[in-house]
Amino acid sequence: MDIEVAVLLLGFLLLIIGVIGSVVPGLPGTILVWLSLLLLHFSGYGEFSIFFLVVTALITVATIVLDYVVPSLGAKKFGGSKKGEWGATIGIFAGMFMGPFGILIGPFLGAFVGEMIHDSKDTGRALKAAWGSFVGFLFSTGIKLIVSLVFAWFFIKKFFFE
């Protein structure tokens, strides 16, 4: 098999896994989809400008940062304290070691525990902040999915239509 074809096939594989990974916790979706663009560029089957690759790389980095920041902002927006925000952030990282379910529930539990440390008598506030963290998690997942689908569209457009 020609090396360019192998690079292209790897690009297609990363594209598919990346789009799935944008909604499945634990898989670095946007990174994989961006890498598929890079592989398409180097395969010789579709070239992108350096400007395009740099901008999409910056967007990829932004989605990674947002993925960790938005759940704690959600906790704050829903009335959480600093301890709830920190709890949501810690929950994201702790959840990474507990598989897909842990990543999904980690920010919620982290925000809840943080709020209970802040005020152990106000369970309602803790649940509200935890819910905000979960909403933030869903929002950041939506952003990753949109970015991944746009990048996938660029890949498909470049390969099939240009």
Residue 81 has pLDDT above 90, yes or no: no
- Exposure letters 52-79 (e unless 16+ CB within 10 A, then b): eeeebeeebeebbebbebbbbbbbbebb
Distance of alpha carbon 114 from the chain centroid: 23
Confidence band (pLDDT; 50, 70, 90) for 151? Answer: very high
User: Which pLDDT band holds residue 55 (cuts at 50, 70, 90)?
Assistant: very high
Question: What rounded mean pLDDT belongs to the chain?
Answer: 89
Domain residues for 140?
A: 3-161
The pTM of the full predicted model, rounded to 2 decimals, is 0.82
Contact 133, 88 (CB under 8 A): yes
Residue 39: band (very low, low, confident or very high) from pLDDT cuts 50, 70, 90: very high
| Listed range (35-44, 73-82, 111-120, 127-136) with the worst mean pLDDT | 73-82
Give the pLDDT score at 37: 97
Is the pLDDT reported for residue 11 higher than 90? yes
- What is the number of other CB atoms lying within 10 angstroms of the CB of residue 99? 11
pLDDT at 26 over 80: no
The answer on pLDDT for 62 being more than 80 is yes
Number of domains in the chain: 1
User: How many Å apart are CA 80 and CA 86, to the nearest integer?
Assistant: 10
- Tell me which long-range contacts 147-150 makes (C-beta under 8 A, separation of at least 24): 147/22, 147/30, 147/33, 147/59, 147/60, 147/63, 148/18, 148/19, 148/21, 148/22, 148/29, 148/30, 148/33, 149/19, 149/22
Residue 59: pLDDT band (50, 70, 90) is very high
Per-residue pLDDT tens for 84-137? Answer: 888 888 888 888 788 777 877 888 898 889 889 988 888 888 888 888 888 888
